[in-house]
A = this chain, B = another copy of it.
Amino acid sequence: MTDSPKFLSEAESAALVDDELALSAAREAFLATATGSTFPVVIGRSSAPENRFTLKSGSAGDLVGVKVGSFWPGNVDLPRHSSTIVLLNPATGRLSAVVEAASANAYRTAAADALAVDILARKDSRTLTVIGTGHQALHEVRAVSRVRPIDRVLVVGRRPDAARAFAADVTARTGLTAEPVDAQAGVTAADVLVTATTAREPLFDASWVRPGTHISAMGADGPGKQELPVQLYEHATLFCDLTEQSLTIGEFQHAPDAAPVQLGAVLAGTAAGRTSDDEITVFDSSGFALQDLTLAAALLRRSTAPGEAQ
């Protein structure tokens, strides 16, 4: 046999990942959208139909592989989401590495948001509103507050007690002032608005959004999911991670005439980002394979250079 495949367990990848690694991997992935390839997303299920898995595969440079994401809603003592990234050796096609990445996946998704905020939000954005009070939402707050001078976090949740608890958690973990508010108050006050839910209908009214707001829609990643009102798109500039995915499984499945700009093109300087302080910018994240491949590669590099781990 030739070189053995590398394996990073969930415990190992969870110990290796941090926001900086994830943001660097996200930047690499978004830049690679110009030259890399992604292949059709498969949404499968187990024999119990409520348990779903997603296959996202792609290749770019010397990376080629697939992320198996799973969502088992009935998990009680374990996270409901899991993630396994499989890398092939680009020279031989053989298995190169397997990275369990359930914890890292939350960093990866939040890093795409942070990258979008860093590229698209006003530099003076101070108020961050997050709709959603789950595990992912906390990652979003932390990642976004690293790239903008956020000094106030507003939390919108369906259940008031969950919103209160989440706000307390934000303060405890980040030191930021955080308070639960209703949707209209939260949307109206936002410099940056992040939606991180599993919603299947719009979470707010488009008329509530102030000029200059940046919105990152993180939730929609399958048919039927929706967080944003389509009326918003009449007065906003639209961005996404990957156009073909965004129009089929992302937020813009509900706006078939939308022509969102891929964030990677803005990052590469081949497309414009925000052009004025009054512009409303919308970024839709559907999540794409190259994020997973660059994340796995970054984790593997750090695992073999322990002196550089943080």
> Taking beta carbons and an 8 Å cutoff, which residues of A are in contact with B?
1-2, 4-5, 7, 9-11, 36-37, 39-40, 42-48, 51, 53, 55, 57-62, 64-66, 68, 70-72, 75, 78, 80-82, 84, 86, 88, 90-95, 98, 100, 102
A65 surroundings in chain B (CB, below 8 A): 68
Interface pair A78/B94, CB less than 8 Å apart: yes
Bound form: Cα–Cα A47–B91 in Å = 10
A51 surroundings in chain B (CB, below 8 A): 64, 90, 93
Known: A1-B9, A100-B95. A59 touches B47 (CB 8 A): yes
Bound form: Cα–Cα A2–B102 in Å = 13
Interface pair A86/B88, CB less than 8 Å apart: no
Interface pair B42/A64, CB less than 8 Å apart: no
Interface pair B42/A55, CB less than 8 Å apart: yes
The residue that A55 contacts in the complex, of B47, B66, B95, with Cβ under 8 A, is B66
Bound form: Cα–Cα A78–B94 in Å = 9
Interface pair A90/B4, CB less than 8 Å apart: no
The residue that A68 contacts in the complex, of B37, B58, B86, B90, with Cβ under 8 A, is B86
Bound form: Cα–Cα A271–B68 in Å = 35
